[in-house]
Amino acid sequence: MKAEVLTSLDQLQASHRGGAVAVGNFDGVHRGHQRIVAHLVQQARRAGGPAVIFSFDPHPAAVLRPEQPPPPLCWPRRKAQLLAQAGAQVIVLYPTNRELLDLEPEAFFRQIVVDALGARAMVQGSNFRFGRQRRGDVELLARLCEEHHVRLSVIEPVRVDHLVVSSSLVRRLLQQGNVALAARCLGRPHRIRGQVVSGQRRGAELGFPTANLEQVPVLVPAPGVYAAWAYTAAGHYPAAVNVGPNPTFAEQQFKVEAHLIGFSGRLYGQQMELDFVERLRPVEQFPDPQALVRQLAQDVQRTPTLLGRSPWPPQHAESAENES
């Protein structure tokens, strides 16, 4: 589904007003976010206007705590695509600044929700916070909505394995290497993208050539070897992906190296995306290169089997494009 993506309130038109609005970071567009958007679409129909997402770029914490920002789960274009797939019709990726973050909750509601967006309805999660120092909560929001004749729907969180799904939970799972549970929380595998650069060609020397990714704008899972789907301009391929160092050759540099099964050709300089489906094993130091080669052969043999058994088939990707 196509959606209009705006990066400034100056781009708002009359057709963007008078619908239902949800405000938040929506980082990762996980299953909890998807539930909110589903209700947003219903409320927008009832209001006779568009389903509008007001999000932030970058995450407010990157402005408030630039020395310790949370690693993003998806890049802005990807977030907009996922929100559109969930049903959002208008997506505002507002450039986050201190002026916006310093607004008191009442001022934020009046300036953004009422004046700019002309909302007739709002849909928010039960843990929603807004305004300066996150002083606004759902109770205050309910009062403000009542005062301004805005219909409010408060949505309970989604749980997976008794865990409340949140962007923080997904980050923690990925940092633990648990990409399978992270995928269940997201409703799809975690995806990264980067540019393919030339490496030391050690993989090719061992018989397993790899594409080395750099300039990755999102959170990379914990060190380990993973079964993944790789997306290139030439199509999608099963991939065994090594994340982290290469201790067998005393290399401590953190790398993302993908061996694309069934691919032959050059990828240098191209964008590639990876969906992390299952963790095969941790990073290991082998006694010699021959032992590493034997293990790599097992990794490559297991990868298509694991991908075939998973509930996550390959998805659409934008690998041929260079936009971020």
Q: Where residue 301 sits, what CATH number does that domain have?
A: 2.40.30.30
Both tokens of residue 269?
A: 């300089």
Nearest residue to 63 via CA among 25, 36, 33:
25
Q: CB neighbours (10 Å) of residue 301?
A: 11
Q: Which amino acid is at 260?
A: L
Q: What are all long-range contacts of 247-253, with beta carbons under 8 Å and residues at least 24 apart? A: 247/283, 247/284, 247/285, 248/284, 248/285, 248/286, 248/288, 248/289, 248/292, 249/202, 249/289
Q: What is the pLDDT of residues 210-265, one digit of tens each?
A: 999 999 999 999 999 999 999 999 999 999 999 998 887 777 788 999 999 999 88
Q: What gap in Å lies between CA 243 and CA 225, rounded to an integer? A: 6
Domain encompassing residue 46 = 4-157
The answer to whether 300 and 284 have CB atoms below 8 angstroms apart is no
What is the reported pLDDT for 10? 95
Is 208 part of any domain? yes
Residue 49 confidence (pLDDT): 97
Same domain, 107 and 52: yes
Distance linking the first and last C-alpha atoms of the chain: 20
Give a yes or no: residue 322 inside a domain: no
- Judge whether 281 and 244 are in contact, CB under 8 Å: no
pTM of model > 0.85: yes
Tokens of 129: 């916070």
Instruction: Answer yes or no: is 176 within a domain.
Output: no
Q: What percent of the chain is predicted at pLDDT more than 90?
A: 83
Instruction: State whether 112 and 257 are in the same domain.
Output: no
Answer yes or no: do 111 and 205 share one domain. Answer: no
Low-confidence ranges of the chain (pLDDT < 70): 1, 200-205, 318-324
d(CA 134, CA 144): 15
**What's the CATH code of the domain at 128?**
3.40.50.620
Cβ pair 241, 256 in contact under 8 A:
yes
Examine the domain organization and report whether 134 and 202 are in the same domain.
no
Q: Looking at the structure, tell me whether residues 95 and 230 fall in a common domain.
A: no
**Alpha-carbon gap, residue 188 to 222, rounded angstroms:** 18
Domains of the chain: total: 2
Structure tokens at 225: 């070897």
